[in-house]
Structure 1
């Protein structure tokens, strides 16, 4: 059952793969895991009650560790190295057809396309009906400005809650059951939103749409990492990441014309039809890709067929359900409250992300009041934001990586080098807010504020992307927990901050209202500069424990 000798994975490979799978690197990937041993048994089993948390919690999470090759299992890792114990179950050689990396080309890339399509649809649903908000308010007989924004932003609150449960469940049961069950529940609650008869029902169903719609955002990166080799993974990851970037901006463009033609409920019927088609395709064509789950099933079959209870998966660390849930929920909270780096970056990202939903919830009112746009044309008001976000993603990918790679080549790379592009890009957000606000206030040609929103979209991406990569480089083994902390805070901010946006514009006008947002974002601009100067020293003095 043991596999032949394999190349020992490097520490950086294990961390990178774990990050793409949305969990910390002390939970196994198909490359192994990085975790200190707390018992002499290198392959503990759940029946023994083995618990890794005590040792893991003693590590300082901000000091990190060098990205070096793991030379043996008695260092900080359990990789796919040489296996001598005949009871250890691993792949049957490098060409084992059960290994998702060895699946046929069409099966691998077909799965990637399905996952990317689902990942595009669920963020698209977050804002697709935004142009139809006035119709929804009229249908339910409401004039509450707060509810007008909340019915849009409540979806992203689900993004904060759902993944905290989905992530540990996927470690226990695999990715495929979570894809199928979350797809089904997403469809059910989308239908429920389409037939809702009052505002309370509608908002509740929108929340659960967000909870289950967040599944592909949690699982997609790991699925791609399961299937595609490291050398070829870049293209697939770029395609997959386009969904969260473009989906919320493309959705209202479709929704604007659909609302005009069929009414606001058809936004949800449209999503239901497409999601249903994707669900059927995924049931027919997708297979489990998680290496730890596949190997655990293989070990279980061997235990049942041979009667030998000693068979254990190579990637089994004995983590129980309570460990997985604690790592998924408690660790991010501790990081947010105990780490200055995680807290500061998360606050910066949360405020800027909330601005995105301030715009989503107000574009319809702004362009209908100031420019008298009606019907499907209202959806086009989101176009500038989408184009700006796309340009921002390209610029960061091209130049952010170029800066980091230069220092990596020179051998003097520090995580703070990720922040150089954020330090410059941060100025675009307040500039865009001033531009957009005052051009709308003065009712300049509609193209002027649209370009302003493009500058905002560019500034948003130049904040999100560097902040995320910085957190990954700082926290390494526990990067997924840092990212989860970031996600929770930004989702809460995006759900609740936009609730006051309509009243803000009523009191201050579009010029001073957006200027207020711009001044707040301007106050945040020094954060990357401070970390560039003091971040290394702050990390060296860190005493943050999980």
Structure 2
């Protein structure tokens, strides 16, 4: 059953692939794991999890990782040739084992990397469309908030903001469950199930009869709507070769970047024409269309699950119970859930770097949702905007975010390439762009707040929000890449920790924004946020100077 491995992936490639798939690198990627596979019993089964109390070999292998300080490990670019030689030797040993099930050669049609061009890129486009829709739904009904409040006979300022931000609260909890489930059952099953529940709760929100029901359904929409954000990067990594992956990832990332800003523009005119409930009907209709397309066009892309099914089929056909998939991790559901939940928690509480960077991102991300929850009231009260035109108030934020992403992608890659060529690259070089972005955020807040307070021409505050959007992306993107470079093998857990904290802050901090503006006015209210943003500016500078020393002294054990 074994086939020679036609190209041994390097350790750095496996780590990079694990990051894109959304899990730590000690869980097998499509190319294998950075650790040798655990020894299996003579009667393995990909999904057979015994209930004995003995420590499994997989757990022993994992415990070796837990005992290491995760901030002191070597980076992928600096991994020694001895490490790759050891991995190659382990791979060669496995390839000589006739009971190892792998692809049937480099052109095996079951391998998603070998699918037809149209099928691969069709899947990428479909996943990108779904990933665009679910973040769009987070804010698309924001212009209709006053009408929702009127429908449910409420004048509670906190609920007015919470009905928008509660969606992102679902982004904090849904992925913690979705990620380990995808590693057990594959991506396709999770896409279909989450799409179905997303449609169900979108319809439920459309027909909600009271505020409590509406907020609960919005939260559940967020929980299941987070699936493409968790699974999309992995799907692209399953299908597209490393050389072509950058383009696909940029297309996919457009969804979470500009979706929340485009949503209110579309929603504003729709709500004016058909009412706020139709915003959710439209989301459900589009999600239903994507669901039908995914049922027809999508297939499982996650190699460990494909090979597990192949192994089960071959066992049945040959009667050889010793057959085992090359990518079978031997980890139980309990192990996977522990990795998904406990590791991010420990990182957030034990790592100075992870906590400080995540806090910076969380506060700046909460500013985004302060704008989402207050734009309608601000432009209604100060400029007399009503109806569909209210959605246009989000335009500056969207354009600024898009420009920020493009500028970061270009200059960050150039900076990193320069240092790698010199041979002196370290993770802190990722933060140079963050030092620039940090200044744009308070400038945008002061600009927006005082221009609204003075009722300057409406383009003035909209340009101010564009400056804010640029600053947000120029802090958010470098922070993420820095966490990836610092934690490498456990980058997915670091990213999960950051996601949970920023989602919690984005859900709850905006609740007091209306009262803040009522008490302080738009000028001083936004200035208060700007002063907090100014206090955060030194963080990337401090890590550029002391980050390496902090990592050398830090003790973070999972």
Structure 1 unpaired stretches of 5+: none
Query: Is residue 361 of structure 1 aligned with residue 400 of structure 2?
Result: no
Partner of 1:123: 135
> How many angstroms does 1:44 deviate by?
7.9
Residues 349-386 of structure 1: per-residue CA shift (max 9 Å, x gap): 00000000000000000000000001000000000000
Paired residues for 1:74-473 under 5 Å: 74-75=86-87, 83-473=95-485
Residues 70-99 of structure 1: per-residue CA shift (max 9 Å, x gap): 756855997698600000000010000000
- Counterpart CA distance in 1 for 2:42 and 2:556 is 28
> How many angstroms does 1:55 deviate by?
1.7
Paired residues for 1:460-539 under 5 Å: 460-539=472-551
- Counterpart CA distance in 1 for 2:219 and 2:319 is 47
Residues 164 and 373, structure 2, Cα contact 8 Å, conserved in 1? yes
Residues 150-186 of structure 1: per-residue CA shift (max 9 Å, x gap): 0000000000000000000000000000000000000
- Counterpart CA distance in 1 for 2:42 and 2:71 is 27
- Counterpart CA distance in 2 for 1:43 and 1:399 is 53
Q: Secondary structure at the match of 2:8?
A: coil
Partner of 1:6: 6
- Counterpart CA distance in 1 for 2:90 and 2:168 is 36
Structure 2 unpaired stretches of 5+: 51-55
Residues 449 and 525, structure 2, Cα contact 8 Å, conserved in 1? yes
Residues 9 and 80, structure 1, Cα contact 8 Å, conserved in 2? no
Partner of 1:35: 35
Partner of 2:19: 19
Q: From the superposition, tell whether residues 47 and 245 of structure 1 become closer, same or farther in structure 2 (CA, over 3 Å).
A: closer
> How many angstroms does 1:57 deviate by?
0.9
1:62 pairs with one of 71, 84, 107: 71
- Counterpart CA distance in 2 for 1:73 and 1:292 is 24
> How many angstroms does 1:453 deviate by?
0.0
- Counterpart CA distance in 2 for 1:502 and 1:441 is 14
Q: From the superposition, tell whether residues 59 and 41 of structure 1 become closer, same or farther in structure 2 (CA, over 3 Å).
A: farther
Residues 336 and 343, structure 1, Cα contact 8 Å, conserved in 2? yes
Which consecutive segments of 4 or more residues in structure 1 shift more than 4 A?
Answer: 36-48, 69-82
TM-score by length of 1: 0.97
Q: Secondary structure at the match of 1:253?
A: helix
Residues 25 and 490, structure 2, Cα contact 8 Å, conserved in 1? yes
Residues 419 and 470, structure 1, Cα contact 8 Å, conserved in 2? yes
> How many angstroms does 1:66 deviate by?
3.7
TM-score by length of 2: 0.95
Residues 182-218 of structure 1: per-residue CA shift (max 9 Å, x gap): 0000000000000000000000000000000000000
RMSD: 1.8
> How many angstroms does 1:4 deviate by?
1.9
Residues 240-276 of structure 1: per-residue CA shift (max 9 Å, x gap): 0000001000000000000100000000000011000
Q: Secondary structure at the match of 1:32?
A: coil
> How many angstroms does 1:38 deviate by?
6.5
Q: From the superposition, tell whether residues 160 and 217 of structure 1 become closer, same or farther in structure 2 (CA, over 3 Å).
A: same
Q: From the superposition, tell whether residues 148 and 221 of structure 1 become closer, same or farther in structure 2 (CA, over 3 Å).
A: same
Q: From the superposition, tell whether residues 286 and 37 of structure 1 become closer, same or farther in structure 2 (CA, over 3 Å).
A: closer
Q: Secondary structure at the match of 1:30?
A: coil
Q: Secondary structure at the match of 1:426?
A: helix
After alignment, is 359-368 or 44-53 more displaced?
A: 44-53
> How many angstroms does 1:7 deviate by?
2.1
- Counterpart CA distance in 1 for 2:92 and 2:546 is 38
Q: Secondary structure at the match of 1:427?
A: helix
Residues 404 and 469, structure 2, Cα contact 8 Å, conserved in 1? yes
> How many angstroms does 1:41 deviate by?
8.6
Partner of 2:53: none
> How many angstroms does 1:291 deviate by?
0.5
> How many angstroms does 1:234 deviate by?
0.8
Q: Secondary structure at the match of 1:230?
A: coil
Residues 325-357 of structure 1: per-residue CA shift (max 9 Å, x gap): 000000000000000000000000000000000
Residues 149 and 361, structure 1, Cα contact 8 Å, conserved in 2? yes
Residues 132 and 256, structure 2, Cα contact 8 Å, conserved in 1? yes
User: How many residue pairs are counted as aligned between the two chains?
Assistant: 546
Q: Secondary structure at the match of 1:190?
A: helix
